[in-house]
């Protein structure tokens, strides 16, 4: 697992990322400057470090299909390809600078029902090396009927302030979980076009959460009740939804 939630980029990682970004760096610098105006807390003695981090996150949010798009970053992280590690380090570092989201978020199955991954059993812990994106379950985006995953977020990061000029995907707010975030499967419901997997984001610590299977505890059951209430409030609506590519596909693996 190259990075855990809360990773802070180093000067070496930021310098290597700038070399990777090449001309894209200058194209995104003006957008990041506007972000500083909207989020003055990002200014200060760490402003240059924040600039590099936010350019990385902006590229992650804006560049599908490009050499620095989310597909290529995810592929490199999942196959232990080290080429984009400095980029991933800055994306992870940028997320800690964004406002957190507490509540229910939804993620789609992805193409052809999300691949061949098996539906995980309750109690399983899932974790992957790449960021995980989802959409708030707030009645303005997809309904739970169209989702593959419903996630109770505690420290997922809202990125609309950075991505509001990023094209069609900006129609919806987006919640991004940092690389290395662990999720516990609380329940699997056979409803809609595919089973709905209910997940709890687990708190981050100095060491990775063990990927052991265990019965649900009191905290798990309390989160499940809150997640169930959130889903019940927004259970209506058409099942069809055009999920942004970042916000669909399998969540982690019990093998990572």
Average pLDDT over residues 213-237: 89
Per-residue pLDDT, 115: 44
Per-residue pLDDT, 92: 97
- Where exactly are the structural domains of the chain? 11-95, 100-247
Per-residue pLDDT of 25-80, as tens digits, reads 988 887 887 777 777 667 666 888 999 999 999 999 886 778 888 999 999 999 99
From 55-64, 76-85, 201-210, 239-248, the region with the lowest mean pLDDT: 201-210
**Which string of DSSP letters, residue by residue, matches the chain?**
----TT----HHHHHHHHHHHTHHHHHHHHHHHHHHHH-GGG-STTHHHHHHHHHHHHHHHH-TTSTTSHHHHHHHHHTT-GGGHHHHHHHHHHHTTSPEEEEEEEEB--GGGTTTPPPPPTT-EEE-SS-EEEEE-SSSS--GGG-SEEEEEEEEEE-HHHHTTSSGGGGS--EEEPTT-EEEEEEEE--SSSPEEEEEEPPP-SSPPP-------HHHHHHHHHHHHHHHHT--S-S-----GGGBS---BTT-
- In which band, very low, low, confident or very high, does the pLDDT at 214 lie, cut at 50, 70 and 90? confident
Average pLDDT over residues 14-29: 91
Is the pLDDT assigned to residue 190 strictly greater than 80? yes
- In which band, very low, low, confident or very high, does the pLDDT at 205 lie, cut at 50, 70 and 90? confident
Average pLDDT over residues 231-245: 78
Is the pLDDT assigned to residue 167 strictly greater than 60? no
Is the pLDDT assigned to residue 87 strictly greater than 60? yes
**pLDDT above 90 coverage of the chain, percent:** 56
Average pLDDT over residues 80-106: 95
- In which band, very low, low, confident or very high, does the pLDDT at 239 lie, cut at 50, 70 and 90? low
From 155-169, 196-210, 225-239, the region with the lowest mean pLDDT: 155-169
Mean pLDDT over the full length of the chain? 86
């Amino acid at each position: 697992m190259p990075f855990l939630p809360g990773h802070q980029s180093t000067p070496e990682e930021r310098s290597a990322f700038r070399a990777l970004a090449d001309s894209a760096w200058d194209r995104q610098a003006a957008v990041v400057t506007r972000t500083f105006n909207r989020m003055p807390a990002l200014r200060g003695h760490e402003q240059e470090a924040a600039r590099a981090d936010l350019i990385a996150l902006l590229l992650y949010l804006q560049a599908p299909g490009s050499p620095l798009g989310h597909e290529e970053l995810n592929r490199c992280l999942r196959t232990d390809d080290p080429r984009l590690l400095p980029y991933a380090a800055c994306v992870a570092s940028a997320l800690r600078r964004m406002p957190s989201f507490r509540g229910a978020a939804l993620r789609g199955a992805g193409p052809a029902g999300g691949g061949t991954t098996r539906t995980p059993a309750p109690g399983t812990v899932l974790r992957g090396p790449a960021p995980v994106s989802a959409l708030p379950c707030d009645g303005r985006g997809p309904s739970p009927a169209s989702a593959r995953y419903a996630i109770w977020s505690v420290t997922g990061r809202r990125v609309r302030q950075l991505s509001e000029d990023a094209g069609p995907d900006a129609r919806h707010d987006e919640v991004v979980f940092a690389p290395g975030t662990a999720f516990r499967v609380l329940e699997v419901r056979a409803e809609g076009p595919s089973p709905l997997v209910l997940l709890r984001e687990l708190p981050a610590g100095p060491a990775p959460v063990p990927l052991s299977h265990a019965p649900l505890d009191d905290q798990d059951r309390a989160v499940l009740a809150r997640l169930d209430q959130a889903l019940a409030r927004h259970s209506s609506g058409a099942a069809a939804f055009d999920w942004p590519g970042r916000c669909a596909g399998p969540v982690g693996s019990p093998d990572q």
